[in-house]
Amino acid sequence: EAGVAQSPRYKIIEKRQSVAFWCNPISGHATLYWYQQILGQGPKLLIQFQNNGVVDDSQLPKDRFSAERLKGVDSTLKIQPAKLEDSAVYLCASSARDRGWHEQYFGPGTRLTVT
Amino acid sequence: AQTVTQSQPEMSVQEAETVTLSCTYDTSESDYYLFWYKQPPSRQMILVIRQEAYKQQNATENRFSVNFQKAAKSFSLKISDSQLGDAAMYFCAYRDVLGGTSYGKLTFGQGTILTVHP
């Protein structure tokens, strides 16, 4: 079974530029999560989708971050315009009910550096 | 809001010995889940072990076991017979039982870097 795929793996941009990250969850996983992990900290949830609907986006900075999950499969996270404090690893995870349990499977992440 | 605290930024252990990583959390809920995740330098987050709050018995997975103290809101991870491959960042995480389901978000601690010496 293929895991959660993310691209790109690394991205360097200047502040005020735009950037987009892509996530392809495990096939059949209805729930998709985007986490932000700043260096030296634990991941923090930005947004959670159930199919193509948003379950939780309470910590998403909506003035500059946006995310969509078209057709309930792939997802894109966008930052526009980027700030220096957005430098972090962006992790995508997906889950599905299996034997009564939703285990979250994480992708390798995208490391963003804003200069 | 739920919070998770890991008070040990770094820990080290000799190969084949035992190490315990500490975690405390704060919640007003009575039903929830707790997890330990491992994140090697490659950054792929891997589930090590999970504990359902309604279960009194501590979870075990091979060399990994937890000490769950619900009243004290403490959840420590014990790694026995440590191996070089255990070296990683370890995160303690909490999840609400969301609407009777188990797909709620994870709230992570700050992490503990574990070094294993040969």
Tens of each residue's pLDDT in chain B, 118 residues: 789 999 999 999 999 999 999 999 999 888 889 999 999 987 789 999 999 998 889 999 999 999 999 999 999 999 999 999 999 999 999 998 765 555 678 899 999 999 999 9
How high is the pLDDT of residue A86?
Answer: 97
- Torsion of Cα atoms, A98 then A1 then A55 then A86, to 10°: 140
**Alpha carbons B68 and B24: distance in angstroms, whole number:** 10
How high is the pLDDT of residue B99?
Answer: 57
Which residues in chain B touch residue A107, judged by CB atoms under 8 angstroms apart?
44
Host domain of residue B107? 3-117
- What value, to the nearest 5°, has the Cα angle with vertex A8 and ends A2 and A9? 80
- Find where tokens 């091979």 sit: B62
Domains of chain A: 5-101 (2.60.40.10)
Domains: count for chain B: 1
CATH code, domain with B28: 2.60.40.10
How high is the pLDDT of residue B41?
Answer: 84
User: What contacts A84, CB < 8 A, 6 or more positions away?
Assistant: A15, A114, A115
Cβ–Cβ contact B36 with A under 8 A: no
**Alpha carbons B66 and B57: distance in angstroms, whole number:** 10
Q: What is the pLDDT along chain A (115 residues), one digit of tens a residue?
A: 689 999 999 999 999 999 999 999 999 898 999 999 999 899 999 999 988 899 889 999 999 999 999 888 999 999 999 999 999 999 999 988 765 667 889 999 999 999 9
Kindly identify which residue of chain B lies nearest to residue A103, measuring between CA atoms: B103
Which residues in chain A touch residue B111, judged by CB atoms under 8 angstroms apart?
40-42
Strand partners, A6: A23
CB A109 within 8 A of CB A39: no
Task: Give the 3-state secondary structure percentages of chain B, helix then strand then coil, rounded to 5.
Answer: 5, 55, 45
- What value, to the nearest 5°, has the Cα angle with vertex A60 and ends B50 and A105? 30
Spacing of C-alpha B20 from chain mean position: 10
CB pairs under 8 A between A and B: 52
CB contact under 8 A, A108 and B44: yes
How high is the pLDDT of residue A32?
Answer: 93
